[in-house]
Amino acid sequence: MRKIIYGMGLLALLGWGCNSQPSKEAHYNPERTLPNVVLIMADDMGFNDLGCYGNSTVHTPNIDRLAASGIRLTDYHSNGVVCSPTRAALLTGLYPQEAGVEGVVTAKSHRKSGMSPDKLTLGEYLKESGYATAIYGKWHLGYEPEFGPNIQGFDQFKGFVSGNVDYFSHIDQEGYEDWWINQSLQKETGYLTDLISDNAMAFLEKKEADKPFFLYLAHGAPHYPYQGPNDQADRTVGGNFQIQGSREDKAAAYKEMIESLDENVGKLMEYLEKNRLAEQTLVIFCSDNGGTKNVGSNAPYSGFKGQLYEGGHRVPAIFSWKDKITPGESDALVLSMDLFPTIASLMGLEVPKDLSGKDMSEIFDGPIPDIEEEARTVFWRFKNQAAARKGQWKLLIIDGESSLYNLSTDVQELNDVSDEYPDIFQELNKAYKEWESGLNEETILT
């Protein structure tokens, strides 16, 4: 049973209709005042790492308040179980494999490769629709400027292109300087989480009053190195350092990092409120994959980052829009790749064709009929693992061995029920094989 509290239908309230036959030449009506979008992505944050998702030790009052003011999703999933694939899926509205990024774009081995600029991104689509676009924080879809944010739809970029940087010296785990202002390496001082937020505030201060904006805050927290705001730099250029940081009590550092992120989310929300932007701005908060094995919490789910058990990809996600989204909770199945078409629809734009992601704006307008939702089958693949999901059923394949789980009664994926439900087992296996056979293996960065 879906647990959603609704007021007026969102799309009816906005007075917008959604056309599924888009024209790339004219995405929007120039006479319409388009809303703004703020997308906040945490890095390696587990399902149970926030107060609003049941954590009682990490204090996150601002994100909890964001959840209380909007829709908190309980069945939201990252498309990848590591960083780069999810970011590719989110920006393209495609499966990571279709975007050519199935694995991590590593600082060690992939410095000359990245996601193809030929892929249409959410940044490009919104920019073409009249938006000012900016990303502050983590890119992780290519190291060279030819694969960078400025080439793929963002007017402004300040941040890092690798998987992680020192929170103070901004050096990546291979010992390279990694703080960029657009296409140039430049130094900026500050604790990473604060710096990302400060740049966002500066962007908002300078924005054109009559132009909508898309602000993508791709935070590094709480990904390692585990450094709280009161710690100091560990990494030096070409130096010898511990990749995860020198802090001995990593669990305490992790807590400090999330609470710092929460504080910065609070500053942003306060700014939107004080400057009368809250009513015009959709705010989305999510994570790129599940928490890691040694810190964080994916409870009540099994598994962690890098695994296709639920804990590796079922993550927090919140949609909030003052006076437009009535507070509630939804158990609708949503993936990272759904954000592109859903944002386009909620903004009143025409949803592009040929996306694998689904426009989920209906969950803010009323319950989706169960028969429609259950008909959707979605897929994951990473290294020696694969998965398919349809309704309550999940097929999990590890090293060629397949299991079937009923997530409605077994969220920890402990009981293989493939012998009890052979028809469902065969159906999902067949669906997965058909999906996999349609992928272009030559384009996949693993």
Q: How many CB atoms lie within 10 A of CB 437?
A: 7
According to the 3-state scheme, what is the secondary structure of 1-67?
CCCCCCCCCHHHHHCCCCCCCCCCCCCCCCCCCCCEEEEEEECCCCCCCCHHHCCCCCCCHHHHHHH
Give the percent of the chain with pLDDT over 90. Answer: 87
Give me the pLDDT at residue 364, please: 86
> pLDDT (tens digit, 9 = 90+) per residue, 307-336?
999 999 999 999 999 999 989 999 999 999
Q: Which residue has the tokens 């695994």?
A: 307
> pLDDT (tens digit, 9 = 90+) per residue, 374-418?
679 999 999 999 999 999 999 999 999 999 999 999 999 999 999
Q: Which residue has the tokens 């939201």?
A: 76
Taking 50 as the pLDDT cut, the residues of the chain under it are 1-32
Contact by Cβ (8 Å): 359, 341: yes
Ramachandran sector of residue 253 (left: φ over 0; alpha: ψ -120 to 50; beta: rest): alpha
Q: How far apart are CA 85 and CA 225, in angstroms?
A: 21
Q: Which two tokens stand for residue 378?
A: 């979605």
Output the pTM of the full model: 0.92
Element (H, E) at 72: strand 71-73
Residues labelled catalytic: 83, 140
> pLDDT (tens digit, 9 = 90+) per residue, 20-54?
333 333 344 444 479 999 999 999 999 999 999 99
Q: Up-side HSE of residue 38: CA atoms within 13 Å toward CB?
A: 25
SS3 330: strand
List all residues 6 or more positions away from 283 whose beta carbon is below 8 Å from its beta carbon: 38, 40, 66, 70, 269, 272, 318, 319, 320, 321
Q: How far apart are CA 173 and CA 192, in angstroms?
A: 15
